[in-house]
Amino acid sequence: MVEKPPLNISGWRCYDGAYSARPKLCSNREKFKIASMRGACLAVKARPRPHCGTARHNIMQGIGVDIIELNRIQNIRFLERFSQFILSENEMRQMHSASHRAQFVASRLAVKEAVIKALPGSLKYHDFEIIKKGRKPVVRFLKPITKPYKTFISLAHSSEYVVGFALVV
């Protein structure tokens, strides 16, 4: 037997799936008795969803994604100069210690572009940096922004492409 979804009858909800056009009110006015061919169905008043208790709900503010061909970054003539436009001072130090500099720059560029696309308002590359906490990359804002957003990022790379993803809550 296939279960039917709960039926909402003007704020009252039938939970066993028996439907009737003429519900009957019980004596305590808290429950409906709904007659059906299969028997009686007990319905109780539908309660509002519980509130999370915080003023700010976790509503998604934006999604950003960016993909970069690693070949294009590897073919840049002056990678050091190019990276100064994108990376913060801390990220520049990390780039110098990285084994694959072009891949490092491409991954940071991809995820920074994704964050800029996802965050409402306008940001520049030097307004935030990507740091690692353990194995995960996280966003650290260097300049104050108007609202404290939670930003979740992910990046991945292969031998040809680098992709960055950002979710702002």
Provide the residue range defining the domain that includes 22: 7-45
38 and 79 in a single domain? The answer is no
**Residue type for 112, please?**
K
**Residue type for 99, please?**
S
Q: Which residues pair with 152 in a beta bridge?
A: 167
68 and 41 in a single domain? The answer is no
Tokens 């509503």 locate to 59
28 and 72 in a single domain? The answer is no
Q: How many helices (H) and strands (E) does the chain have?
A: 4, 10
Whether 164 is covered by a domain: the verdict is yes
15 and 88 in a single domain? The answer is no
Q: pLDDT tens, position by position, for the chain (169 residues)?
A: 555 555 544 544 444 444 444 444 444 444 444 433 344 444 444 444 555 545 556 688 999 999 999 999 999 999 999 999 999 999 999 999 999 999 999 999 999 999 999 998 889 999 999 999 999 999 999 988 778 889 999 999 999 999 999 999 9
Number of domains present in the structure of the chain: 2
Which tokens hold the place of 107?
């991954």
Tokens 């979740």 locate to 152
- Do 85 and 126 contact (CB within 8 A), yes or no? no
